[in-house]
A = this chain, B = another copy of it.
Amino acid sequence: MPKIVDHDARRAELAEAMWRVVYRDGVAAATVRSIAAEAGWSPSALRHYFATQADLLIFAMEHVIAQSAERFAAESWTGPPRETAQRMLEEFLPLDRQRRRAAEVWLWLTLHAQVDPAAQARLSEADDGVRGVVDVAVDALAAAGLVARGADLGAEKARLHALLDGLTLHALVRTELMPPGRLRALLAEHLDSLTSARDGP
């Protein structure tokens, strides 16, 4: 009976407006009002599609993660496993402004999740997406026989994942000490350590 709008499309539109604001002015500028202005709506209109600000940011974050997942699925990922793993994991490092902004949003969500169980749950799902890529990368290395027998794959995945997020954090807080080249080099060094021969059981 009433006017019908494609909610999913509208949500995506608002999420993109949010990313434009974030890319331009940083996550601190991602207020409900500024995002609404960017999208050309009144602040109240957003409430029809996102009950709360955190919902919008989570949706936007899931949006880019889903896009990343599509890119991962689309690419063939042939070639040397070692270089492939490096390329896959570099996707998550803040090597350019865009990914740096995404890391800021990620940080905002992480902090917010400390007090919002709903955000916590959905952030965990998104986190699983990243963890899944790390798993794939490590498994591919192991399947290629590049990881020493006896290595604890579960622990290696957790360690690599932690290193990835730690590097991201350091890139945010100490940009001058962590230029893109150093981020890549440290990731490479870790993969070297992972793939070099180590004592089996």
Contact = CB atoms under 8 A, between A and B. Distances in A.
Contact of A114 (B104, B120, B127): B104
B110 A173 contact: yes
Contact of A170 (B27, B165, B193): B165
A26 interface: yes
Interface stretch (A11-19, A61-69, A156-164): A156-164
A188 B163 CA distance: 14
Interface in A112-139: 113-115, 120, 123-124, 127
Consensus secondary structure, chain A interface: helix
Interface string A17-49: 000000000111000000000000000000000
Interface in A160-201: 161-167, 169-170, 172-174, 182, 185-186, 189-190, 193, 196-199
Given A165-B169, A189-B152, A111 B115 contact: no
A108 interface: yes
A107 interface: yes
A185 B27 contact: no
Given A163-B166, A166-B162, A169-B166, A155 B189 contact: yes
B27 A173 contact: no
Interface residues of A, number: 41
B163 A163 contact: yes
Nearest 8 Cβ contacts at the A-B interface:
A166-B166, A162-B166, A165-B166, A28-B115, A162-B167, A163-B163, A107-B111, A165-B169
25 contacts: A26-B114, A27-B114, A28-B114, A28-B115, A107-B107, A107-B110, A110-B173, A111-B111, A123-B173, A124-B174, A127-B174, A152-B189, A155-B186, A158-B186, A159-B186, A159-B189, A159-B190, A162-B163, A162-B167, A162-B169, A162-B170, A164-B166, A165-B169, A166-B167, A196-B198
